[in-house]
Amino acid sequence: MDFLLNDIHTDLRDTVAAIGEKAGGSAVARAWSEGDHAPALTVYRQLAEAGITGLIVDDALGGSGAGATEMVVAAEQIGRIALPGPVAETLAAVPTALAAAGASDALEALLGGRPATLAAAATGYRAAAPADADVYLLRDGTLSSASVVAEHASVDPTRTVADVEAGAALGSADESAVAQLGALATAAQLIGLGSAMLDLASDYAKARKQFNRAIGSYQAVKHHLADVAIAVEMARPLVHGAAVGLDGNAPEGTNVARDVSAAKVAAADAAYLASRRSLQVLGAIGYTAEHDLSLYLTKTRALVSAWGTPAQHRALILETL
């Protein structure tokens, strides 16, 4: 397997990063948490126009005809700006389900820039971030349109969760395939979040001085940040390797489902470590809602358990050993 990004991947990465930067970066998440969803919805439309929401959808169905490998490259960059709303669902889980069910009208709306979310067994039958999104329910292999019954607060105000009830049946979809793509997209987001928090903490450690020395020059701080960098860099190949497996390019005999679970666990651990160490480095300022770190902390906390908790994925890994 080739884990290196080729020119197409780096162009894709740069395109998504440019969309996020032009939109204002983390300012999009801050606007959402204050009730203004318009900037985030603009980003979703721009991602759709660039073909990002159709990366795992075949050309014949109106998608980009790429694959999971390209999807995780895009999702990591989206994670770096903590984009609000149902990111993993819009990029991976819902298009997979709609394509399998043959729901062409609904798929066309998603590919046109409309966010979408989905409740399934892997999400505890709750849909994430249903506001301004099309909502679906996947139960016992049947995909249905859905409506929100009750919305609940979340540690991440940009990713609430909701109980839903089924509407019209749209067709059949493989629950396992949808869950694996949802988990993998979430893992890629977590890598992006971890990288962004490492950058925030590193920049602060270079600028903040005590006893006339940058705090980053002290070993205690330096080693904290090095641990995060290692954790992120060790998790990223697992995410890319699982994506290669989902694209059907892994060596024969590879247990792709186990690789997805391993990637989700490693990415969650890396992002959680990044959140703890970044908070330590930034000190009290990191606790404040006014600092961008708070946006990353809350999203990391929410995504660690999204599409399967670390304990659930570790149990899945153990079952295959």
| pLDDT band (50, 70, 90) for residue 3 | low
Contacts for 221 with CB less than 8 Å, ≥ 6 apart: 205, 215, 281
Domains of the chain, CATH where assigned: 177-319 (1.20.140.10)
Q: How far apart are CA 106 and CA 302, in angstroms?
A: 27
Q: How far apart are CA 306 and CA 181, in angstroms?
A: 12
| pLDDT band (50, 70, 90) for residue 222 | very high
| pLDDT band (50, 70, 90) for residue 289 | confident
Sign of CA dihedral 84, 85, 86, 90: negative
Residues 248-278: tens digit of each pLDDT: 998 888 999 999 999 999 999 999 999 999 9
Question: In the prediction, which pLDDT does 112 show?
Answer: 96
Question: In the prediction, which pLDDT does 166 show?
Answer: 97
| pLDDT band (50, 70, 90) for residue 187 | very high
Q: Residue 49 has which token pair? A: 């126009």
Global pTM reads 0.96
Nearest by Cα to 159 from 192, 126, 191, 184: 126
Q: Residue 107 has which token pair? A: 């798929």
| pLDDT band (50, 70, 90) for residue 98 | very high
Q: Are 136 and 114 in contact, with CB atoms under 8 Å apart?
A: no
